[in-house]
């Protein structure tokens, strides 16, 4: 049965999207088996909020940026210094919420120590967020997957074992990895919607974007990356987020992959700072 998915996200383009070279979410210098150091880890330690950081053209301003675009987005001329990106191959990654609301996203969990604390902090403040789960972690902590869903947060697939090179594999291998992860999540929460996929390390390829969409998941990026995985101070994390977030922004944070005490400690300031200007939302399950 044909299914038409409308993504709505590129409609809200605020001009501060992040360069694909972002290092985040991929790497912890101290590493875990599923969170190896990223070769991109030397990239900018600030955020994606500068328009000058993104050499790629803005997503189409079309009000209905459905997946199959009637006109290819491949640019007729390419800047000689621009890195090829999935966008330029005719794909679009979701980097904004699709509304004026701002989304907090937490990657790499669920983690037995940090995820419950993050959930507590969100619950205490009435904030719904989005959790990008690693399959092996979901398998190991089904009770936390259930709690994430029970407390009203949105699910996102973050690969089976945080494979930063996933997108370089065959489409069949990419599909198997994504499906295995969804299956692990659904073992804990049968039937729960998983409408997003975030590539580890932001290392998108056209194949990863394609397969993600085939499985009904919007390829999810971010607009603000405070590089919390590098464990800067809580005040630094919070100030980077609050300073660089704009309407429609997607904030990248981590609830696993290492000691997340600083991220946790930053949350009250992040939430209060953003709430002064924006509505904090979970990413919608329908698109
Ligand atoms: Zn990650």
User: Residues 202, 211, 102, 72: is their CA dihedral positive or negative?
Assistant: positive
> Mean pLDDT for the chain?
79
pLDDT per residue as tens digits for the range 214-252 = 999 999 999 999 999 999 999 999 999 999 999 999 999
- The two tokens of residue 101 are 């609301």
Which of the two residues, 156 and 286, has the higher pLDDT score? 156
Q: Look at the block and give the residue holding tokens 């945080």.
A: 162
Is 70 exceeded by the pLDDT of residue 66? Answer: no
Q: Is 254 a catalytic site residue?
A: yes
Is 80 exceeded by the pLDDT of residue 6? Answer: no
First to last CA, the chain: 17
Nearest CA-CA partner of 13 in 204, 242, 287, 248: 248
Ligand 1 centroid to Cα of residue 62, in Å, is: 30
Ligand 1 centroid to Cα of residue 175, in Å, is: 18
What is the C-alpha separation between 137 and 238, in angstroms, rounded?
A: 26
Ligand 1 centroid to Cα of residue 128, in Å, is: 20
Q: Is 153 a catalytic site residue?
A: no
What is the C-alpha separation between 145 and 155, in angstroms, rounded?
A: 9
Active-site residue (options: 153, 162, 199, 254)? 254
**Superfamily the domain 87-281 falls into:** Glycoside hydrolase/deacetylase (3.20.20.370)
Q: Ligand 1 being an ion, which residues bring their Cβ within 5 A of it? A: 25, 107-108, 200
pLDDT band at 91 (very low <50, low <70, confident <90, very high): confident
Active-site residue (options: 7, 35, 54, 107)? 107
pLDDT score at 88:
63
Q: What are the domain boundaries of the chain?
A: 87-281
pLDDT per residue as tens digits for the range 92-138 = 899 999 999 999 999 999 999 999 999 999 999 999 999 999 999 99
């Amino acid at each position: 049965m044909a299914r038409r998915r409308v993504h709505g996200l590129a409609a809200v383009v605020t001009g501060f999207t992040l360069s694909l070279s972002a290092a985040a979410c991929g790497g912890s210098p101290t590493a875990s088996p599923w969170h190896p150091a990223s070769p991109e880890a030397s990239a900018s330690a600030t955020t994606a909020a500068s328009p000058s950081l993104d050499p790629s053209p803005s997503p189409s301003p079309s009000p209905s940026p459905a997946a199959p675009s009637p006109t290819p987005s491949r640019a007729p001329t390419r800047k000689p210094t621009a890195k090829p990106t999935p966008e330029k191959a005719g794909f679009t990654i979701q980097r904004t919420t699709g509304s004026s609301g701002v989304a907090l996203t937490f990657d790499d969990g669920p983690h037995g120590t940090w995820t419950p604390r993050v959930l507590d902090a969100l619950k205490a403040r009435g904030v719904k967020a989005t959790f990008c789960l690693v399959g092996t972690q979901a398998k190991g902590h089904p009770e936390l997957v259930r709690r994430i869903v029970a407390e009203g947060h949105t699910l996102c697939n973050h690969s089976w074992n945080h494979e930063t090179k996933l997108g370089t594999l065959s489409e069949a291998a990419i599909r198997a990895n994504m499906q295995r992860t969804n299956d692990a999540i659904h073992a804990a929460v049968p039937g729960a919607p998983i409408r997003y996929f975030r590539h580890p390390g932001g290392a998108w390829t056209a194949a990863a974007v394609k397969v993600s969409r085939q499985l009904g998941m919007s390829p999810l990026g971010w607009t603000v990356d405070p590089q919390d995985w590098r464990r800067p101070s809580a005040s630094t994390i919070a100030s980077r987020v609050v300073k660089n977030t704009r309407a429609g922004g997607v904030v990248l944070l981590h609830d696993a992959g290492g000691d997340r005490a600083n991220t946790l400690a930053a949350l009250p300031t992040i939430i209060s700072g953003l709430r002064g200007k924006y509505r904090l939302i979970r990413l919608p399950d329908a698109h």
